[in-house]
Structure 1
Amino acid sequence: MSEKEAVALNNQGRIRLENRKRIMDAAEKVFAENGFRGSTTASIAKQAGLPKANIHYYFGTKEELYRTVVDEIVELWLSSFREITAEDDPASTLADYIRAKMELSKNRPEASRVFANELIRGAPRIKPYLSGDLKAWVEKKSAVLDTWIEQGKMAPVDSKRLIFHIWAMTQTWADFEIQWASVLGREEGVLLDEDYEQATNSIITTVLRNCGLMPLPERLKNGTC
């Protein structure tokens, strides 16, 4: 292969990756606004600034694109809770996770809304995943939390429900941003960075207190954990 051919091939690969990302970003926004049924490949293509044919070239069908978007969202959320062991510090670990989830709610609110809309409709397209991979992930993380409880590192709590309570407390700032913005008096329904930071600190305090990990260690104050 000549150098010119290699450069052309690399450019083609770069363009494919860029187009795929544009489609994924557009789909996340359109699905968040309209749900699966209310979204069309034409509206997604328009949002992405690409021909409709590109949607079908990269993803085949709207169903396949939707599932890819949801898979990426869930993977993003699950990876935000790093691998943990019984030797880790509970307070730092939970605080880190809450901060990571709040960053996602702040920077990727449409992602949370896509997932919320799917669940509200009974999770018709991801129900097997919820009872399979997601269930296994929750059990793996909760097993470490249960070990911390057995070791006396934190107060007895329902570890599985604790994980979902963290999801609920962090994702509400994405799913119901307009509600929070209205209550806090933010114009145009847009929250400020300080709103997310104050909410993050409040959630951390609530969770750690519930887990018997208060008073808040110095290293966790002011977001320095």
Structure 2
Amino acid sequence: MKRLPTLLACSLLASANVSAAGRGNSTFRYKPSPDDERPVVVDATIGPQGSDFGMRLRFDKLPFGEECKQRCANVTLFLDTDASTQSGLQLTTKGPETGADLAVVIQGVREYKRQDAPPEMMLRVKVRQLGTDASSTDGGELLADLNNIQDPERIQLDGNTVYLLVDATSALLPSARKVRVIYHPPGGKAVQATIAGMLGGSSGRGVQIFKHGSGNWGKAPNADPKKSRTPPAGDNG
């Protein structure tokens, strides 16, 4: 697995607003159960970075590759971007994910390009926007389908840690001063936290994931900001 280039770093500011089941600058922490077969997020830092949500996600084990084989990461993080249950996902059970406006699905996958070749292993990230007509994660509109091989300006890896930038520029995505973050591990209770929102006055000073050179935060080395791939028109995932 490729390691994160030395010029990439994560800067966690003490001013980040955190109300979570963790300590320090972490947005949340989770202690995995011995029954967890797949890699799970054990420490996450999430916050606005410019027009994106920056994420540093540490897994308890490698999220994809030979080590996890067929039981690699399959994690969904929910962002309630206006901290309101009136917009976004409307679960009939009124669970903690109700009101989520974005679902970020992170999966360790294997893709078979040719029958006579070994599979290509990668980390895949799907971002879906959830409107009030969505009653499940699959009901949302697919905003982005990324992977660490083709989208290094959005995804970087360093061992068990995933660095991710999620575009939040959709005109239909609600904004507010606070964002609710929900992580619901399989078989466990949902972990919730509150972070600063895009209207919180700190979008340019929040979680800063990528660093290239001196003071140039916000993109990976050799990243082309115009390169970011979005689903073709009419593709709903």
Fold shared, TM-score > 0.5 on shorter chain: no
Specify which structure has the higher proportion of helix.
1
Higher relative contact order structure (alpha carbons within 8 Å, sequence separation ≥ 6)? 2
Q: What TM-score comes out, normalization by structure 2 length?
A: 0.27
More strand by share: 2
